[in-house]
Amino acid sequence: MLSPRQMFLLDNACWPIRRAFIDTDDPMSGLYLVGSTMTGEKSNGARDTDVRLMLSDQKYASLSAVIGMTGVRFLGIAIGQYIASTTGLPIDFQFQQTSAANDEHGPYRNPLGSRDIDNFVGDGEPKPAKPASDLTEGEEAAIADLFAKLKPEREEG
């Protein structure tokens, strides 16, 4: 299980990812903490923090059509590294189709990226997300800068 401080850092690190990828009109998408860290089960071997960005089958197919499966995997590694460097936690981040994730992880999920210091209790209880309209210009600029750094520069041909 994560401490309240670790959960706070993880939730805040996931906030810009949720904003970038989750369409609030798509109930099949979500960003979640899953696995043994969520359930408290102890496993043999290395312990990591499983974070899944679950996309509807259609949205997952669209993403993989644009950047290919290698691109999906690389983007997952890059986002996982961002979360790990922000939180200090060993992160296993993956994009998943919601249909596959439902089979693999079942009902045990903790939504991520939807709390801030004003509505964070640290007990894994979901609270309302901060509306995009409440973002300051500085927050919007920081998010844009983060994702600009994740985009590879293209060589001119």
| Sign of the alpha-carbon torsion through 59, 63, 69, 74 | negative
Q: Is residue 157 part of a domain?
A: no
d(CA 132, CA 139): 10
How open is the CA angle 128-60-142, to the nearest 5 degrees?
A: 50
The amino acid occupying position 122 is G
The answer to whether residue 114 sits within a structural domain is yes
Strands (E), 35-106: 49-55, 91-97
The whole domain housing 96 covers 4-39+46-150
Q: Does residue 142 lie in a domain region? A: yes
Q: Is residue 156 part of a domain?
A: no
Q: Is 155 a domain residue?
A: no
pLDDT for residue 2: 83
pLDDT of the residue at 157: 45
What pLDDT sits at residue 128? 47
pLDDT recorded at residue 154: 46
- CA dihedral sign, ordered 117, 124, 91, 3: positive
Measured distance CA(30)–CA(48) in Å, rounded: 20
Within 8 A by CB and 6+ apart from 15, the residues are 113, 114, 116, 130
pTM above 0.75, yes or no: no
Cα Rg of the chain, angstroms:
16
Q: What distance lies between CA 142 and its chain's CA centroid?
A: 17
Are the CB atoms for 29 and 17 separated by under 8 Å? no
Residue 124 inside a domain? The answer is: yes
pLDDT score of 3 = 83
Strands 110-111 and 30-34: antiparallel
Q: How many domains does the chain have?
A: 1
**pLDDT tens, per residue, the chain with 157 residues:** 788 888 889 999 999 999 888 877 777 688 999 887 776 666 655 578 999 999 988 889 999 999 999 999 999 999 999 999 999 999 999 999 988 877 766 666 788 988 766 666 555 444 444 555 566 676 666 666 655 665 555 444 4
Predicted confidence at residue 147, as pLDDT, reads: 57
- The two tokens of residue 108 are 């045990």
Is there a domain that residue 126 lies in? yes
